């Protein structure tokens, strides 16, 4: 079982497409393909119910901290209870992120991005002390082509390649500080889900960040201010001489000119700042996938799909291709990775231990030493059907009471 450091556990293919590929693969008999589709249908329904329960639990954890809640709170928790619920929310959210094959981005990696901006990004000033709690999760890495124009290339259009995180999620609770707008309730927890975020521009995603104008723009404005001050200095000397010779009347015109110049410089700064804020807003508009409670729903769906893919792949290849002695985890892992590359040109690091744990727990596979066997398809269908029938046991309880 190779350690594929350049690959991720995430399997980027829709569950329905995966089932179709496997059911129509070479050598699959029509009757076996029909059985396999039925197996996948019941297995998927079982996972869906399990994840529905998880969704409801996390929604209940998040409800006291949801900034977009429109439902009334039936009770106000004391501070110690609220803190306990906050701790549980972050714990369960971390669990969900790992199920969806996200990895947490460490503080050191985050700090590296705060000191720079990509060629197409906007540098931001971030104060990490405003965060009471902050966790950042990423999944998938890639590159994207962008185009820039620079003054030293005479504004010619140039191609640059940026390193990306394909998916980027943050969960944050902020402290009440001057950087947080007054209309924001710092008792809330904010969730954000983005796509295709350059690694050098992570600070753009953090609340409370302030736009920093590029050096060229600051140089331009600084030059304007210095040249203006030089002209003002000359005019001051000239006006003072005029006042001394002619009288104080001319001084009022000079004072109004000075006020006008100061206002012009301030308005120019604010206009430039607004331009960069607009660029930031436009960039995030197209990269934002979900906010707050919507993030939980999206991630639950992704985690459910991932669990289904892993279980389907593990059972399928044990069922169809394993030897009578069974396969080790390493043998199954290598076969699935090879087949995913053959069938869909996907290079992944299959999470075989997790997949086998699910199959054994659901009684769809058995373990003998270090070898695994898939139970026969007929037995697997019966097991799944029995599991589904026993999700709600009210009817069985009524039958027992009636029989007694």
Of the candidates 348, 310, 354, the one whose C-alpha atom is nearest the C-alpha of residue 140 is 348
pLDDT band at 27 (very low <50, low <70, confident <90, very high): confident
In order of 61, 92, 243, 265, the CA distances from 58 in angstroms are 5, 7, 75, 51
pLDDT band at 128 (very low <50, low <70, confident <90, very high): confident
Q: Quick one: tokens of 210?
A: 């302030």
217-227: pLDDT as tens digits = 444 445 455 55
Average pLDDT over residues 302-327: 95
Q: What is the 3-state secondary structure (H, E, C) of 110-152?
A: HHHHHCCCCCCCCCEECCHHHEEEEEEEEEEEEEEEEEEECHH
83-94: pLDDT as tens digits = 999 999 999 999
* Average pLDDT of the chain, as a whole number: 80
pLDDT recorded at residue 149? 58
Q: Among 26-30, 210-214, 311-315, 349-353, which is the least confidently predicted range?
A: 210-214
pLDDT recorded at residue 227? 54
171-199: pLDDT as tens digits = 999 998 888 888 888 999 999 999 988 88
Q: How far apart are CA 25 and CA 32, in angstroms?
A: 11
Does residue 81 come out as left (phi exceeding 0), alpha (psi in the -120 to 50 range) or beta? alpha
pTM of the model: 0.76
Average pLDDT over residues 357-381: 95
pLDDT recorded at residue 344? 93
Of the candidates 176, 163, 173, the one whose C-alpha atom is nearest the C-alpha of residue 202 is 163
pLDDT band at 159 (very low <50, low <70, confident <90, very high): confident
């Amino acid at each position: 079982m190779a350690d594929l450091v350049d690959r991720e556990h995430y399997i980027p293919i829709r569950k329905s497409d995966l089932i179709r590929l496997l059911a129509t693969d070479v050598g699959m008999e029509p009757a076996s393909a029909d059985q396999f589709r039925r197996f996948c249908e019941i297995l998927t329904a079982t996972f869906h119910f399990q994840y529905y329960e998880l969704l409801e639990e996390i929604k209940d954890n998040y409800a006291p901290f949801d900034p977009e809640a429109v439902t009334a709170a039936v009770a106000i928790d004391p501070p110690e209870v609220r803190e306990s619920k906050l701790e549980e929310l972050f714990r369960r959210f971390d669990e969900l992120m790992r199920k969806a094959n996200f990895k947490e981005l460490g503080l050191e990696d985050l700090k590296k991005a705060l000191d720079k901006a990509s060629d197409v990004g906007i540098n931001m000033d971030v104060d990490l002390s405003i965060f009471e709690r902050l966790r950042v999760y990423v999944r998938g890495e890639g590159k994207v082509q962008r185009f820039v124009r620079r003054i030293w290339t005479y504004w010619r259009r140039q191609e640059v390649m940026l390193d990306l995180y394909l998916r980027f999620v943050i969960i944050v609770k902020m402290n009440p500080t001057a950087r947080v707008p007054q209309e924001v309730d710092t008792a809330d927890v904010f969730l954000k889900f983005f796509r295709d975020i350059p690694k050098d521009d992570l600070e753009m995603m953090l609340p409370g960040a302030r736009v920093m104008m590029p050096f060229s723009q600051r140089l331009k404005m600084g030059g304007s201010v210095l040249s203006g001050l030089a002209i003002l200095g000359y005019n001051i000397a000239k006006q003072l001489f005029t006042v001394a010779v002619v009288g104080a009347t001319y001084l009022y015109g000079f004072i109004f000119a000075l006020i006008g110049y100061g206002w012009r410089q301030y308005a120019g700064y604010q206009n430039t700042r607004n331009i960069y804020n607009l660029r930031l807003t436009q960039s995030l508009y197209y990269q934002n996938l979900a906010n707050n409670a919507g993030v939980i729903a999206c991630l639950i769906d992704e985690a459910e799909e991932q669990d289904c893919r892993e279980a389907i792949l593990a059972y399928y290849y044990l069922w169809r291709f394993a030897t009578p002695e069974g396969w080790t985890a390493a043998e199954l892992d290598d076969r699935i990775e090879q087949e995913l590359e053959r069938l869909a040109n996907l290079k992944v690091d299959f999470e075989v231990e997790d997949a086998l744990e699910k199959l054994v727990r659901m009684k769809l596979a058995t373990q003998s030493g270090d070898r695994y066997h898939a139970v026969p398809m007929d037995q697997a269908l019966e097991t799944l059907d029995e599991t589904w029938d026993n999700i709600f046991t009210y009817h069985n309880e009524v039958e027992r009471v009636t029989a007694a």
